[in-house]
A = this chain, B = another copy of it.
């Protein structure tokens, strides 16, 4: 910045751009197979159904005006109905708040729930969007590791026993980004019990729960305690262009978020919210649509995992493909995935190194692979290229 321009806030010194986004800019060339992104497949999104809903919504002029900060009433009603089914209780519409994607719910909740310096516990590896928000809010951050059954709730209990008092514990409970794993029902109950006993909030960030492959995901953590605030979204099951996410939270939390939403951006788009309400309320159609997404992603995920296991054998450990959008793999031969990335890109494949998601643990031999936007053949080719890069890198050391 030129010396005669006014300064920017010192807060910015601590913020970093998302490593994934910066990387994506480098690897968007067509000849590279991108396993690095985190995007749902636009080809699977219901373009014509959205166009029909848009045309219907635009027959009235109400859709052109500002809407409620909490979200358009009929959309909140549809979400309340869906969430009631998922949570096994009647969720009143007053406990539903519509946000500009669930990322905005995270950002507003960080303001509502955290005083400066408050402790937030995240999972390790962590969802980068949550780390960004909690760091920007000036929180102190501690991490507990994941294993095959999701968050190590015993490690959280240890941390509480040492006297740590989190204000918030954040979890991507189902089909973790980036970890690929799902928290077991036992641990969900344990986490909720800890929240009740110690008086902290749990933010259950669940954009992927409906994208299960062979069997439905366990009941949400939010079924076990009112201290659990549940976030979900239409982005992964319909389309991110709607920018419709939502939060199910106790009324006082919704009222506090409303105050902040007014300052943050007044309200969402009445147009995209009416489209979302139309599609979410069309239950038979939506069920069939989500089935198609599930079946497609399931085929791709299984092809990727099969190719990894087939190609690398015991040199790579890899999560099962149970749902969501990501597979997490770890080289057992000590390969550093940050070091390998440049060679991989030369061989025509990109991924995100585990280090990008690491909080305390050393994930330098791990990588995240997104299977949503390539078909089975292209995923198999990606793994061949990765093996070529691995062989080349091994030969040169």
A132 to B256 CA separation, bound complex (whole angstroms): 13
Contact among B8, B51, B133, B270 with A263 in the assembled complex (CB-CB below 8 Å)? B133
Check if B42 sits within 8 Å of A62, measured CB to CB.
Answer: yes
Question: Which one, B4, B62, B103, B227, contacts A265 given CB within 8 A?
Answer: B103
- Shortest distance in angstroms between A307's beta carbon and chain B's nearest beta carbon? 26
**Does A266 have its Cβ within 8 Å of any Cβ on chain B?**
yes
Q: Residues of B contacting A240 with CB < 8 Å?
A: 64-66, 270
| Residues 230-254 of A at the B interface (beta carbon under 8 Å) | 235, 239-243, 250, 252-253
Count of residues in A whose CB is under 8 Å from the partner chain: 82
Of the candidates B5, B12, B256, B263, which one forms a contact with A112 in the assembled complex, judged by CB atoms under 8 Å apart? B12
Distance between Cα atoms of A315 and B388 in the complex (Å): 86
Given A42-B62, A241-B271, A271-B241; A6-B227 close (CB under 8 Å): yes
Contact of A173 with B by CB under 8 A = no
Is A55 in the interface zone, CB < 8 Å from B? yes
A272 at the interface (CB under 8 A from B): yes
Would A199 and B6 count as touching, CB distance under 8 A? yes
Please measure, in the bound complex, the distance between the C-alpha atom of A7 and the C-alpha atom of B256, giving whole angstroms: 12
> Which of these binds chain B: A13-21, A156-164, A337-345, A389-397?
A13-21
The number of times this chain is found in the oligomer is: 2
Given A61-B42, A136-B260, A262-B21, the answer on whether A115 and B239 have CB atoms closer than 8 Å is: no
Contacting A12 at CB < 8 Å: which of B7, B201, B259? B259
* B-chain residues with CB within 8 Å of residue A64 when the two chains form the complex: 42, 45, 47, 50, 239-241
Docked complex Cα distance between A267 and B253 (Å)? 24
**Cβ of A336: which chain B residues have Cβ within 8 Å of it?**
none
The verdict on A15 contacting B132 (CB below 8 Å), with A5-B227, A270-B241 known, is no
A397 to B256, CA, bound (A): 40
From B5, B17, B21, B101, contact of A250 by CB (8 A) = B5
How far is A121 from B195 in the complex, measured between Cα atoms in Å?
Answer: 43
Contact in complex: B47, A9 (CB < 8 Å): no
**Bound form: Cα–Cα A118–B7 in Å:** 12
Contact, CB under 8 Å: A43 / B65: no
Partner of A226, one of B5, B66, B101, B258: B5
Q: Which of A10, A43, A64, A256 has the most CB of B within 10 A?
A: A64
A93 at the interface (CB under 8 A from B): no
Assembly CA distance A47 to B2 (angstroms): 44
CA separation between A171 and B124, bound complex, in Å? 45
Q: In whole angstroms, how far apart are the Cα atoms of A62 and B39 in the complex?
A: 12
Chain B residues with CB below 8 A from A7, complex form: 167, 199
Chain A residues packing against B (C-beta within 8 Å): 1, 4-12, 15-18, 21, 39, 42-43, 45, 47-48, 50-51, 54-55, 58, 61-67, 69, 99-101, 103-104, 107, 111-115, 118, 129, 132-133, 136, 167, 195-196, 199-201, 226-227, 235, 239-243, 250, 252-253, 256, 258-260, 262-272
22 inter-chain pairs at a CB distance below 8 angstroms, sorted by A residue, are A1-B250, A5-B226, A5-B250, A9-B111, A9-B114, A21-B69, A45-B61, A50-B271, A63-B241, A64-B241, A65-B239, A66-B235, A101-B266, A103-B265, A133-B263, A241-B271, A242-B269, A243-B269, A264-B264, A265-B265, A271-B271, A272-B272
